[in-house]
Amino acid sequence: MKILFVADPLETFNIKKDTTFVMMRQAQSRGHEVYACEVGQLSWVSGARVSAQVLALDLDVAVSQAGWFHVKASLKLDLTEFGAVVMRKDPPFDVEYFYATHLLGQAVIEGARVFNSPQALRDHPEKLAILAYPQYTPPTLVTRHGQDIRDFHARYHDIILKPLDGMGGKGIYRVKSDGLNLGSLIETLNGEGAQTVMVQQFIPAIEQGDKRILIIAGQAVPFALARIPQGAEVRGNLAAGGKGVARPLSERDWEIARALGPTLWAKGLLLVGLDVIGDNLTEINVTSPTCFQEITDQTGCDVARLFVQALETAVLAQTPSLTQRAQ
């Protein structure tokens, strides 16, 4: 089938670690036709369907950073012409991303099969999605009020502050019991009440890593990638210099994954990345979860194959039968 990946510019991919790249490679190896576009190439005009200017790709099996893909053609196609559309645009979830989900949502109405579901992407902002599962989260505050943050710090003494639209660990700060720079950080992140901030109790288990647990079609991949902070850094994110170590899921990891996985899949989230520190769920990543290559390289568990197989099954489940098409 034809699979369209809506992603960042192909030239920006680091193929040594990029998850979308290995998705594409696995899809091609399984006989699918691979296409790509950016969100800015989606469009709609009255009387027609949502379409995109797309590139038909041939991936180089030699896998070199230079010239890893070849463009066979540039075409304008309706999204309904693809067997599947995979939304892989990286955060931030800004207003343009929001608009893109509406265009993709219209494409779904027209009959396109889009993963993750555009509606589910809007309903699960990556920081705030944990609010539905307080039994698994650390003490957490979401607020626009500086005094609320000060009160939270006075209660828990050691806290993490982060913006709701961040990714890769950007904008995350720790304030210890001495409260050093708390006022300045509140001003920076909160913008004097203009921006909502998430605050969580610091979890010492971050020393053992911020675990990325991948959920595919409601089922957990049996290995997580523990992203371990290096040096004096408090952030484990790979983009912030963390070291990725693949580990089997713990009993608590399985408990969280089994509790959330089927529910999230039922809402249209084919691929989810749960972030767990110690025994605590800290984020639910739905826009562009990563870590496929790191887990596969260290464990032999082919995560991209699991994903594409699940995508194939999901497409079949959404494809009308010949009888239904005739009605």
Q: How many Å from the N-terminal Cα to the C-terminal Cα in the chain?
A: 24
pLDDT at 60: 86
Residue type, 148: D
* Mean pLDDT score of the chain: 92
And the tokens for 315?
A: 């497409």
Portions of the chain given CATH number 3.30.1490.20: 139-202
Say which residue, 171 or 210, is predicted with more confidence.
210
Q: What is the pLDDT of residue 140?
A: 97
pLDDT given for residue 320 in this prediction = 67
Fold for 205-311, please state it. Answer: D-amino Acid Aminotransferase; Chain A, domain 1 (3.30.470)
**1-17 pLDDT per residue, tens:** 999 999 999 999 999 99
pLDDT confidence of residue 209: 93
Nearest to 230 by CA among 177, 169, 276: 169
Max Cα–Cα distance, the chain, nearest Å: 70
Tokens 């529910």 correspond to what residue? Answer: 263
Q: What percent of the chain has pLDDT over 70?
A: 93
With a CB cutoff of 8 Å and minimum separation 6, the contacts of 5 are: 20, 23, 24, 34, 35, 36, 37, 86, 88
pLDDT in tens, 12-59: 999 999 999 999 999 999 999 999 999 999 999 999 999 999 999 999
116 vs 322: which has the higher pLDDT: 116
Of the chain, the percentage scoring pLDDT greater than 90 comes to: 82
Average pLDDT, integer, range 272-295: 97
Q: pLDDT by residue (tens digit) across 94-137?
A: 899 999 999 999 999 999 999 999 999 999 998 999 999 999 99
Query: Residue 272 forms beta bridges with which residues?
Result: 215
- Cα atoms in the 13 Å half-sphere on the side-chain side of 296: 17
CB contact set of 203 (below 8 Å; sequence gap of 6+): 138, 277, 278, 280, 282
Report residue 236's pLDDT band, with 50, 70 and 90 as the boundaries.
low
- Which CATH number is correct for 2-116, 3.30.200.20, 3.30.60.50, 3.90.70.10, 3.40.50.20? 3.40.50.20
Tokens of 246: 């693949």
CATH 3.40.50.20 domain residues, the chain: 2-116
Region(s) of the chain under CATH 3.30.470.20:
205-311
Give catalytic residues, as residue numbers.
127, 162, 212, 227, 235, 275, 283, 285
State phi, psi for 140 to the nearest 5 degrees: -135, 145
**Is the CATH number of domain 139-202 3.30.1490.20?**
yes
